[in-house]
Chain A
Amino acid sequence: MIINKETIYTKDLANKKIKVTREFDAPAEKVWKAWTESELLDQWWAPKPWKANTQSMDFRKGGTWRYYMEGPDGSRHYCLVNYTSITPNKVFEGLDAFCDEKGKINTEFPSMQWKVEFIPVDSSTRVQVEITFASEEDLEKIVEMGFKEGFAAAHTNLDKILAA
């Protein structure tokens, strides 16, 4: 079966939300695993050439995922997710923040509220990510930060095209 893999971005600036929706060619339980098990998250969470490395994972309500994103120059960004609500294979919510290597939250950077929903569509799964920011300034800051990683990712893709 061919599914539409176009990613849909909706911004709701008035409510300080960005929504990202995409379908994946796998049943909800599998997609759920990829989003909630650290060995799998490490394989895709960081856009190449960045790499995600889990420090610790405690996927339950009140638990935390601590990881860092490592750049090709060896620079590291430490991050964490505090899980606030989990309904297996359907939806989870968490608070996403930047921190130091010991997991102390860095309040200079904006934190975000995440809600990730998994909706079965035939044999595939639609994932809806809703990211809520405390303020418009925070939203803007995060998108600016994503630039560095996004830009690097775009270059990797370009390299692939050029090598083909």
Chain B
Amino acid sequence: MRRDVFQAIADPSRRTIISLLMMQAMTPNALAEHFDSSRQAISKHIKILAECELVKQELSGREIYYHFNPKKLKEVDKWLQPFRVMWDARFSQLDNVLKNLKNKKS
């Protein structure tokens, strides 16, 4: 099973968990209170997020707190890079086409 950022953000519940943890670190129970789905379902999502390294767990007293790991989300930008290169190349070619169009007739 693949575990990466893209898989992590592919699910709407996991996106909600990420946005909750962006605001503050939370215990699994506190997180589960934000959802209608079962506690097991939520801990499964948390587990996937942890495996994708988007969240980290820390022990505070007897409670586990989940923290958001912003570094990992940057991978999404890296992943967009080839797409940017392609469009940048396309657009500089379009600039030339437009320049020729302009010179031909105005």
B89 touches which of A5, A40, A157 (Cβ 8 Å): A157
- CB-based nearest A residue for B100: A43
Size of chain B's interface in residues, with CB distance under 8 A?
Answer: 28
Does the CB pair B87–A7 fall under 8 Å?
yes
Interface-lining segment among A23-31, A89-97, A107-115: A23-31
Do residues A150 and B98 form an inter-chain contact, with CB atoms below 8 A? no
Which residues of A sit under 8 angstroms from B86, Cβ to Cβ? 47, 146, 149-150, 153
The residue that B15 contacts in the complex, of A14, A47, A48, A156, with Cβ under 8 A, is A14
Query: Is the Cβ of B15 less than 8 Å from the Cβ of A153?
Result: no
Most buried by A among B10, B12, B93: B93
Query: Which of B79, B81, B88, B96 touches A7 (beta carbons < 8 Å)?
Result: B88
- B41 in contact (CB, < 8 A): no
Interface pair B83/A143, CB less than 8 Å apart: yes
Report the Cα distance A121→B33, complex, angstroms: 49
Contacts of B22 in A (CB 8 A): none
Contact B85 A44 (CB under 8 A): no
Contact mask A18-49 → B, CB, 8 Å, 1/0? 10101011100011011000001001111110
A interface bracket (residues with beta carbon within 8 Å of B): 35 or more
Bound-state Cα–Cα, A140 to B75, Å: 13
Whether the Cβ atoms of A25 and B95 lie closer than 8 Å is: yes
Q: Given the known inter-chain contacts A7-B84, A13-B9, A140-B6, please indicate yes or no for A48 contacting B98, CB distance below 8 A.
A: no
Which residues of B come within 8 Å of A, CB atoms? 6, 9-10, 12, 15, 76, 79-91, 93-99, 101-102
Closest 9 CB pairs of A and B: A153-B89, A47-B89, A44-B93, A150-B86, A150-B85, A147-B82, A150-B82, A26-B98, A136-B10
Known: A34-B97, A40-B101, A43-B96. 7 other contacts (CB 8 A): A24-B91, A25-B99, A34-B101, A44-B90, A146-B82, A146-B83, A154-B89
